[in-house]
Amino acid sequence: MVILWEAFLVFGSIISIYYLTSIYLKKEERYKQFLQLMILSISHKLGNKISILNINLELIKSSCKNQAVDRLEKSLTSLNEDLKTLLNTFKKLQFERKEEERFRVDELVLKLLEEFKPFEKKVFLKLKPLKSFKNRSDIEGIIQIILENAFKYSENKVYIKIYKSNLIIKNDIKNKIESGSGLGLLIVEELSKLNNLKVIKRVKGKYFTVCLAF
């Protein structure tokens, strides 16, 4: 009788734990979906406001040209680029699930490079097969931001290679470059920490290098 009672208690405890865990996971998923919706909604509204500001700025430029207008234009351009970076990152992140999967890093790089053909930069590729078992959407977001910075701030050349278990992306630096907010690289660093990746940044001469160690 005592054994049956203990078995009943154990079984009841298991059911209770399962029930509470299920409720917690469902709530967590709803919170994540709500957070994603809020961020995308706010970003969309900000995008609309920036578009209106850009239109008004063009009207001002047509009748008035001075340093203040130029500074305002540069600030709006920087803000717009940061907003695009945020939107692209959040669209790629998997808020509902964080499952790891097997994929080829070199194939992912080649796929992402298609988006940067309009930049018309000289791209030097030296890729080898590199397999990874991580969250693919996070890694895609990380590599996309690194490539975007490389193409945007390069004078003419972008070097991409895989050495051992490292993805190395290097670009020559423009003579005149507007400093950004650093938001893109901040996102790269935080996402890399979540996925147990190491990011190394280096400026040497006229070249900026980012190494992503898998």
34 plus 80 within the same structural domain = yes
The mean pLDDT value for 151-160 works out to 94
103 plus 209 within the same structural domain = yes
135 plus 38 within the same structural domain = no
pLDDT band at 174 (very low <50, low <70, confident <90, very high): confident
Helix (H) or strand (E) holding 124: strand 122-126
70 plus 132 within the same structural domain = no
User: Looking at the 3D structure of the chain, how many domains does it have?
Assistant: 2
Q: Last residue of some domain: 36, 71, 90? A: 90
What contacts 28, CB < 8 A, 6 or more positions away? none
Whether 156 contacts 171, CB under 8 Å: no
Q: Last residue of some domain: 44, 66, 90? A: 90
pLDDT of 80 > 70? The answer is yes
Residue 165 is predicted with a pLDDT of: 96
Q: Last residue of some domain: 33, 61, 90? A: 90
| Helix pair 67-92, 2-63: axis angle to 10 deg | 150
75 plus 110 within the same structural domain = no
82 plus 102 within the same structural domain = no
102 plus 208 within the same structural domain = yes
53 plus 111 within the same structural domain = no
CATH number of the domain where residue 16 is located: 1.10.287
Could you give the angle at the alpha carbon of 137 between the alpha carbons of 31 and 100, nearest 5°?
Answer: 85
CATH number of the domain where residue 167 is located: 3.30.565.10
Using CB atoms within 10 Å of the CB of residue 96, give its burial: 0 to 12 exposed, 13 to 18 middle, 19+ buried: exposed
Question: How far out from the chain centre does Cα 118 lie?
Answer: 20
The mean pLDDT value for 160-180 works out to 86
82 plus 112 within the same structural domain = no
Higher pLDDT, 167 or 79: 167
The domain in which residue 132 lies consists of 98-213
108 plus 148 within the same structural domain = yes
Whether 172 contacts 207, CB under 8 Å: yes
pLDDT of 147 > 90? The answer is yes
In terms of pTM, does the model score above 0.85?
A: no
Task: Return the bridge partners of 101, or none.
Answer: 134
From CA 30, how far away is CA 38, in angstroms rounded?
A: 12
pLDDT of 7 > 50? The answer is no
pLDDT band at 74 (very low <50, low <70, confident <90, very high): confident
78 plus 138 within the same structural domain = no
The mean pLDDT value for 80-109 works out to 76
153 plus 173 within the same structural domain = yes
